[in-house]
Amino acid sequence: MLHPRRISTALALASAIACFSAQASAEAPKRVALVIGNGAFPGAPRLAAPSADAKDVSAALSALGFTVTTLVDADLAAMSRAGRAFVDSAASAEMRLFYYSGYAVQAGGGNWLLPAGAEDKAGWSAKAGSLSADTLLSGLAAARSGTNVFILDACRESPFAARSGSVGLARMSADNSIIAFSASPGNFAKGSGDATRSPFTQAIVKELATPGKSAQEALLAAAERSGSSAGGKESP
C-alpha cells in the first residue's frame, strides 16, 4: 500500500471524481483526450517507451468512449497546435484527459514538455523550445466544469535537465483536476529510459480496463501497481 504522503505528492484530487467506466460512456457527455509520446531527441538516447505507451493509452481511452488525438514524435509546432485545439474544443466535455510521455524539465518553477527534435546545446531554453505543461493545465481548468486528468510519464533523468538547474518535475495543481506523475515531484523514475514500455503507463492501461473505477481509484491503483513492479524503487 502506498504511504498517504506519497499519494498526496502524486495526485492532486478534484472535488468531483468522474468515472472511467466503459458502460457509462454511451450516455455520458463527451470525453476527450490528447495523447503525446515523444522519444526522438538528437544528441540524446532515443526513448523506446513513449511511442508504444502513447498508442496503448490511446487504444484504452478509445475503448472507453473518448475522442482521442494522438501525436508521436511531434515537434513544438504540432504540440502547440494540438494543445490549443484541445483546450478550445474540450470546454464542454465531462472529462478532459491529457497524457504525455517523453522528456520534460522543470524550469522557472514550471514544467516544460520537450518536443521531438529538441537538442541539448548552448543557448537551449526550456521556455522557448518546449510546451508549458502549466499553461495547458490552466487552460483546461478554466472550463470550471467537468474533470481534468493530467498524466505526465516524463520523470526520466533527462540529459536536458542540466540546463534547467532543477531535478525532476515541479508540483502542479489546478481546480477540478487529478494530476499524476510517474515519480514524486523533484525525483526521477528509476531505470525507465531504455524500457520498451513504462511500468507506470502500463499499470494505468491495465486499470483503465477495470469497469466502474473512478479516475482517482484507477490512478491510485496504477501507482501502487507500478511501485510494486519496480520493487519499491518507484514512487508515482
Give 16-72 pLDDT, tens digit per residue: 346 776 544 455 569 999 999 999 887 777 888 999 999 999 999 999 999 999 999
Write the DSSP assignment of 95-156 as a string of letters: EEEEEEES-EEEETTEEEEPPTT----TT--HHHHSEEHHHHHHHHHTT-SSEEEEEEE--S
Tell me the CB-side half-sphere exposure of residue 85, using CA atoms within 13 A: 13
Enter the pTM of the model: 0.83
Give 132-154 pLDDT, tens digit per residue: 999 999 999 998 889 999 999 98
Give 171-199 pLDDT, tens digit per residue: 888 999 999 887 655 455 655 555 788 88
Cell numbers at 105, concatenated = 524539465
pLDDT on residue 5? 42
| CATH topology (fold) of 4-229 | Rossmann fold (3.40.50)
How many other CB atoms are there within 10 angstroms of residue 103's CB atom? Answer: 29
